[in-house]
Amino acid sequence: MNYAGRSQRLGEVDPLRRAIPRTDSPGLASELRSARWRMKAAESPVPEEVDGAHRRIRNSPGGLRTARHVRRRTMSGPGQEPPAGRPSTGAVIAGFTLIVALGVAVASLGASLPFLREHYGIGVAASGFAVVAFNVGALLSTLVCGLADRRLPPKPTVFVLLALFATGLGSAGAAPTWTLFVTAITVAGLGYGGLALYLNTAFASAFGRHNVLMINLLQAAFGIGAIIGPIATAATAPVDVRWTLTAMAVVTVLCWTAAGCCAAERRVPAAEGAGWSSLRMVLVVSAPFIIAGIFYNGLETSVGAWASTHLTWSGMDPGDAARSTALFWAGLTAGRVIIPLAAKNLGPATLIRISLAIAVAVFSLSAWGAAPVLCYAVAGFALGPVLPTTLAWLSTATHRAQLANSILLTGCMAANVTHPWLVGITADPAKPWTIPAVLTGFAALGLVAALSTTVFRPKTAADDKVDQHATTTRS
CB-CB neighbours of 68 under 10 Å: 13
Interatomic CA distance for residues 289 and 408, integer angstroms: 8
Q: Which residue has the higher pLDDT, 242 or 286?
A: 242
Q: Report the pLDDT value the prediction gives residue 219, as an integer from 0 to 100.
A: 85
pLDDT digits (tens, 9 = 90+) for 72-81: 444 433 333 4
Mean pLDDT of the chain: 75
Highest mean pLDDT pick, 216-225, 396-405, 449-458: 216-225
Interatomic CA distance for residues 274 and 71, integer angstroms: 27
Q: Report the pLDDT value the prediction gives residue 46, as an integer from 0 to 100.
A: 41
Lowest mean pLDDT among 233-242, 258-267, 397-406: 258-267
pLDDT at 273 over 60: no
Q: Report the pLDDT value the prediction gives residue 166, as an integer from 0 to 100.
A: 96
E strand or H helix at 193: helix 178-205
Compute φ and ψ for 431, nearest 5 degrees: -135, 80
* Contact criterion met (CB below 8 Å) for 241 and 114: no
Interatomic CA distance for residues 119 and 233, integer angstroms: 14
pLDDT at 243 over 90: yes
Counting DSSP H helices and E strands in the chain, the numbers are 21, 0
Q: Report the pLDDT value the prediction gives residue 264, as an integer from 0 to 100.
A: 54
Interatomic CA distance for residues 281 and 462, integer angstroms: 10
Percentages (nearest 5) of helix, strand, coil residues in the chain: 80, 0, 20
* Contact criterion met (CB below 8 Å) for 87 and 260: yes
pLDDT at 249 over 90: yes
Q: Report the pLDDT value the prediction gives residue 321, as an integer from 0 to 100.
A: 78
Q: What is the DSSP letter of 17?
A: G
* Contact criterion met (CB below 8 Å) for 198 and 262: yes
Q: Which residue has the higher pLDDT, 448 or 68?
A: 448
Burial 229-251 (b: 16+ CB within 10 A, else e): bbebbeebbeeebbbbbbbbbeb
Q: Which residue has the higher pLDDT, 279 or 472?
A: 279
Where does the pLDDT of residue 4 fall: very low under 50, low under 70, confident under 90, or very high at 90 and above?
Answer: very low
* Contact criterion met (CB below 8 Å) for 402 and 195: no
List CB contacts of 228: < 8 A, sequence separation 6 or more.
100, 103, 104, 107
Q: Report the pLDDT value the prediction gives residue 468, as an integer from 0 to 100.
A: 37
Q: Mean pLDDT, to the nearest integer, of 26-42?
A: 48
**Does residue 47 come out as left (phi exceeding 0), alpha (psi in the -120 to 50 range) or beta?**
alpha
Lowest mean pLDDT among 52-56, 94-98, 316-320, 437-441: 52-56
Q: Mean pLDDT, to the nearest integer, of 14-40?
A: 46
Q: Which residue has the higher pLDDT, 373 or 24?
A: 373
pLDDT at 13 over 50: no
Q: Report the pLDDT value the prediction gives residue 278, as an integer from 0 to 100.
A: 64
Strand partners, 428: 431
Q: Report the pLDDT value the prediction gives residue 244, as an integer from 0 to 100.
A: 92
Q: Which residue has the higher pLDDT, 247 or 28?
A: 247
What amino acid is encoded at 452 in this protein? S
Residue among 440, 276, 429 at smallest CA distance from 365? 440
**What are the Cα distances from residue 373, in Å, to 49, 307, 326, 332?**
52, 9, 10, 14
**What are the Cα distances from residue 334, in Å, to 98, 162, 201?**
20, 28, 22
Cα of 62 vs its chain's centroid, Å: 42
Share of the chain above pLDDT 90, in %: 20
CA atoms within 13 A on the CB side of 323: 5
Q: Report the pLDDT value the prediction gives residue 471, as an integer from 0 to 100.
A: 35
CB-CB neighbours of 3 under 10 Å: 14
Q: Is 365 helix (H, G, I), strand (E, B) or coil?
A: helix
Q: Which residue has the higher pLDDT, 296 or 269?
A: 296
**What are the Cα distances from residue 288, in Å, to 196, 231, 349, 390?**
22, 38, 12, 10
**What are the Cα distances from residue 89, in Å, to 86, 225, 255, 257, 475?**
9, 21, 13, 10, 49
Q: Report the pLDDT value the prediction gives residue 8, as an integer from 0 to 100.
A: 42
* Contact criterion met (CB below 8 Å) for 404 and 398: yes
List CB contacts of 269: < 8 A, sequence separation 6 or more.
18, 81
Compute φ and ψ for 428, nearest 5 degrees: -140, 120
List CB contacts of 280: < 8 A, sequence separation 6 or more.
none
pLDDT at 149 over 50: yes
Q: Report the pLDDT value the prediction gives residue 144, as an integer from 0 to 100.
A: 86
Lowest mean pLDDT among 14-23, 31-40, 218-227, 287-296: 14-23
Length of the chain: 475
The CA-CA-CA angle for residues 18, 19, 24, to 5°, reads 90
Lowest mean pLDDT among 2-16, 135-149, 183-197: 2-16
pLDDT digits (tens, 9 = 90+) for 81-125: 434 457 788 889 999 999 999 988 988 887 788 888 888 998 877
Strand partners, 431: 428
Q: Mean pLDDT, to the nearest integer, of 388-402?
A: 75
Q: Which residue has the higher pLDDT, 102 or 13?
A: 102
E strand or H helix at 19: none
pLDDT digits (tens, 9 = 90+) for 168-200: 999 999 999 999 999 999 999 999 988 988 898
Say what angle helices 89-111 and 154-174 make with each other, to 10 degrees. 30
Q: What is the DSSP letter of 51?
A: H
